[in-house]
Every structure is written in structure tokens, then in C-alpha cells.
């Protein structure tokens, strides 16, 4: 009987020990599962460059359209000049653009376009060399400063075709352009073209003017509008 009680006590001790181990194992497994649960990842902080808006995100202000401003200030110009059966239409459809359209020539009446430094201010038709065939002269003025004016010419080749008249530029330091600061204008007088402009000295207007005299001459392949003299007035 004594041995029987000892055996029961031994079995009870083993049973309690196994229960405690299972409880600890379950607790450990629960802690492990809790620990192993995925935690929500935090987004990495953006760098200064990444936080800047992309070009699509940027709010852009409407930039001033300079070409539109220029177009608002510019008005297309057209002149029609004729001599006998020959007619020339001079168009200034856009800034820096000149278009000449002839009619009545026997062979060639195709339009000619030319890039110019400014806009059309005036145009006239005449016969400077007195050969019986007309020339057209266009005065083009720049919008910069006082406004430099240049002349562009086209001559009829015996009323069969036409071409541009060559106007030689003045070299730097030419006495023809001494004191020049713009503000020039052109007039037709006695089959000559006169160019006049105020003379400046030391940045001041002297009150005098310079007059340049142009005459039309025949070159090797085309006509040349050449400066043949100048004077102070």
C-alpha cells in the first residue's frame, strides 16, 4: 500500500511537470508569433531633390509672348507701283520680311522674297539711269535706337525680267558715315537718290546734316546703286 501511494505521487509530479512545459511552450510560441508579425514599413524620408516638384507638378506662369507683342505693334504694308504696262506689288507681311511681286514682264514675273533689317517705310518707282526701264526702291527702317534706314532696290531688265540692285555697304570709318547715329531719310531729286541724316559729335546733335548722293550704275552682272558724293548742309 505504501508503494502504491508513492507511485501515484510520482505520476502526479510528472503530469504537473509536463503541463507546465506545455504552457511555457505555448507562451513562447505565442510570443514568437507576435514578434514575427510583419510591421508596416515607414516610407523613407524624401531628399531635398526628391521633394522638389517635377516639371509637370510645377505651376507655371504664362510667359509674355514677345512675338505677339511685336505683331500687335506691327501692321502689314502693301504698296502698288506701276510704270507703263509693268507693275510691282511690294508687301511687308511680317517684320524683317519683304516680298516683291511683278506683273507685265515678258519672261519672268515670279515673286521674290528678301529678309530685311526692319519694316517697310516707303517705296517709289523711277528710272535713275534713264534707260527707259523702271526701278523700284524700298526704304526699310530699323526699330532700334533712332532708326537706321536702308534702301533696297529692284530693276527691270528691259521689261523681260527683273533682279535686285546691289547697294554696297560703307566700310567702317567711312567719311560718308561720320557722325552717323541713325534718323536718316531718303528723297528722290533730279534722277538721284539723296540720303540725309543728322550729324552727331560726342553724343550730341550738332544741328548739321550730312547728305549722301546715290546714282545708279550698270555693273558686270547687275545694277549698282553707288554713293558718288556727300556734303554737309
Q: Look at residue 5 in the predicted model and tell me its pLDDT.
A: 53
Entry field: residues in the chain: 233
Q: Look at residue 190 in the predicted model and tell me its pLDDT.
A: 86
Q: What's the CA gap between 128 and 51, in Å, rounded?
A: 72
> 183-187 long-range CB contacts below 8 Å, 24 or more apart?
183/146, 183/147, 184/148, 184/149, 185/139, 185/149, 186/122, 186/137, 186/139, 186/149, 186/151
Q: Which set of grid coordinates corresponds to residue 177? A: 558715315
Following DSSP, what letter does each residue of 38-62 receive, concatenated?
PPPPPPPPPPHHHHSPPTTTS-PPP
Q: Which set of grid coordinates corresponds to residue 123? A: 517705296
φ, ψ for residue 186 (rounded to 5)? -120, 140
Q: Look at residue 126 in the predicted model and tell me its pLDDT.
A: 95
Q: What's the CA gap between 189 and 194, in Å, rounded?
A: 7
As averages over each run of 10 residues, the pLDDT of the chain (233 residues) reads: 53 54 47 44 45 37 39 80 96 92 96 92 94 95 77 96 95 92 91 94 93 93 93 92
Q: Look at residue 15 in the predicted model and tell me its pLDDT.
A: 55
Element (H, E) at 34: helix 2-36
Amino acid at each position: 500500500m505504501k508503494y502504491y501511494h508513492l507511485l501515484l505521487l510520482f505520476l502526479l509530479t510528472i503530469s504537473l511537470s509536463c503541463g507546465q512545459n506545455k504552457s511555457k511552450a505555448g507562451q513562447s510560441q505565442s510570443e514568437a508569433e507576435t514578434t514575427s508579425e510583419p510591421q508596416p514599413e515607414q516610407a523613407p524620408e524624401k531628399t531635398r531633390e526628391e521633394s522638389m516638384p517635377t516639371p509637370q507638378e510645377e505651376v507655371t506662369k504664362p510667359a509674355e509672348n514677345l512675338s505677339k507683342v511685336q505683331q500687335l505693334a506691327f501692321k502689314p504694308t502693301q504698296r502698288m507701283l506701276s510704270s507703263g504696262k509693268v507693275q510691282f506689288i511690294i508687301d511687308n507681311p511680317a517684320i524683317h520680311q519683304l516680298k516683291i511681286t511683278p506683273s507685265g514682264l515678258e519672261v519672268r514675273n515670279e515673286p521674290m522674297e528678301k529678309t530685311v533689317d526692319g519694316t517697310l517705310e516707303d517705296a517709289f518707282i523711277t528710272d535713275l539711269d534713264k534707260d527707259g526701264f523702271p526701278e523700284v526702291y524700298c526704304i526699310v527702317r530699323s526699330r532700334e535706337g533712332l532708326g537706321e534706314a536702308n534702301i533696297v532696290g529692284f530693276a527691270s531688265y528691259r521689261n523681260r525680267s527683273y533682279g535686285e540692285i546691289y547697294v554696297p555697304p560703307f566700310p567702317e570709318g567711312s567719311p560718308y558715315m561720320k557722325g552717323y547715329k541713325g534718323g536718316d531719310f531718303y528723297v528722290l531729286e533730279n534722277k538721284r537718290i539723296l540720303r540725309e541724316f543728322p550729324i552727331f559729335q560726342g553724343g550730341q546733335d550738332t544741328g548739321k546734316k550730312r547728305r549722301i548722293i546715290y546714282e545708279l550704275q550698270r555693273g558686270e552682272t547687275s545694277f549698282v546703286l553707288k554713293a558718288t558724293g556727300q556734303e554737309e548742309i
